[in-house]
Amino acid sequence: MEITTFVMLGIAAVLLLYFIVIYNNLVRIKHNVAMAWSNIDVLLKQRHDELPKLVEVCKQYMKFEQETLEKVMLARSAVASARQNTDIGALGGAETQMRLGLGSLFAVAEDYPELGANENFQHLRQRISGLENAIADRREFYNDSVNINNVRIEQFPDVIVARMLSFTEKTLLEFTEEEKKDVNITALFNS
């Protein structure tokens, strides 16, 4: 065999190894995005399961605040629907409604001292607040993972492998400026 054949085989082997390395990195990144979404999904499910308990405890005390409880349950349904459909765009709006509903619920609860003193209510409130913080952390991790994925599939030479093997851009979990503003609890009760 000639030396040029060995050189060509060597170059082909290096290119094949480089292709494999790029492919494996893209697969790892894709799975990190999926894992990040699953982490959010687990926390949303936990919150989804905890909210009826909180609402039930509140119902025992808040006979005249049904509208507030209904808003929380409607928001819960919207989040569950967006979660089930993996509709990241709808999830942002549903999460905002959930945050508003929980803010209203916790604000109204302050008008009921016996509810505020209830051990079950306190436990559930702390649990849901903890879940809200964890969800916020996981959303940040998800967006970081999506950003890494989207950058990698656009960088050269990864873009060649990504296009050849149909790696796709992922959607960031974003919120509008309106959805990011602090909740004005006073306005909620004056409307």
| Residues 58-98 pLDDT 10s | 766 666 567 777 777 888 888 888 888 877 777 877 887 77
List, in sequence order, every beta strand (DSSP E) within 34-187: none
Helix (H, G, I), strand (E, B) or coil at 167: coil
Q: Which residue, 99, 105, 101, 134, is CA-closest to 121?
A: 105
In a domain, 62, yes or no: yes
In the block, tokens 């082997």 appear at: 13
What's the pLDDT score for residue 103? 78
Cα-to-chain-centroid distance, residue 16: 37
What's the pLDDT score for residue 124? 77
Q: Which residue, 56, 37, 34, is CA-closest to 45?
A: 37
pLDDT at 145 over 90: yes
Q: Which domain holds residue 127?
A: 41-190
In the block, tokens 């809200």 appear at: 132
Angle at 71 between CA 70 and CA 77, to 5 degrees: 90
Number of domains in the chain: 1
In a domain, 10, yes or no: no
Tokens of 37: 């979404």
In a domain, 120, yes or no: yes
Task: Please tell me the pTM assigned to this model.
Answer: 0.63
pLDDT at 28 over 90: yes
CATH code at 175? Answer: 1.20.1440.20
Cα gap 7→4, rounded to integer Å? 5
